[in-house]
A and B are shown apart, each in its own frame.
Chain A
């Protein structure tokens, strides 16, 4: 069964450093998402991406964040200058194009620890 994959599973970085989190969505999906979950808190939407552009973003997704689909398979989230409060689990999700297929499938997550 197709699945969303994410790398790395755990990333440790120093405050102020840039990180890139990588995701490979399900191959025939066209909508891509990033969510994050700070430890013990709810899952929060960051950004959605369709047709090579951001379709929606949350207040959390400020100028320090960017997303890219550099080729036909990867979908990345970049944080330019990490802060302590960026420590969280980051989930990638993807969804097909049919209106009735409105299920988002999630990857296993990348745990980001900012020291």
Chain B
């Protein structure tokens, strides 16, 4: 079946540090890949997505590139802020067909200290 594996946290960083959260997936076909973010006390917000190999999703300074050869979708940000403290979830949708469920990774808690 489909699965998503992401690095366990918590990840603790200082402001302006470089952030990488690793995400790898197992799926048949050509899934769409997503990063969702959950700020403290809030729901899930879409951060970025990529729908085909070599696509790069980007938003709010975050980037992730869909690497089919390594089945990965690592999230990066060059200079984090305290406001980036949140839990980040990698997820996949198994195909571009409408209606397919999302499979999530376990989430990575990121804490950015001033």
Contact = CB atoms under 8 A, between A and B. Distances in A.
Interface in B53-110: 89, 91, 93, 96-107
B43 interface: yes
Given A42-B106, A43-B89, A48-B101, A103 B49 contact: yes
B45 interface: yes
A105 B46 contact: yes
Contacts of B106: 41-42
B34 interface: yes
A104 B100 CA distance: 10
Contacts of A102: 32, 51, 93, 96, 98, 100
Interface string B33-54: 0101000001111100101000
B101 A42 contact: no
A106 interface: yes
Contacts of B36: 106
A55 B107 contact: no
Contacts, number: 65
Contacts of B49: 103
B105 A106 contact: no
Given A42-B104, A102-B32, A91 B96 contact: no
Interface residues of A, number: 28
A55 B49 CA distance: 24
Nearest to B46: A103
B44 A91 contact: yes
Contacts of B93: 102, 104
A97 interface: yes
B101 A106 contact: no
Contacts of A31: 98-99
B73 to A, nearest CB: 15
B99 A48 contact: yes
Contacts of B98: 31, 50, 95, 97-99, 102
Nearest to B102: A104
Interface of B: 32, 34, 36, 42-46, 49, 51, 89, 91, 93, 96-107
19 contacts: A33-B102, A41-B106, A42-B89, A42-B104, A43-B102, A45-B101, A55-B99, A56-B99, A58-B101, A91-B43, A95-B98, A98-B98, A99-B97, A100-B51, A102-B93, A102-B98, A102-B100, A107-B43, A108-B42
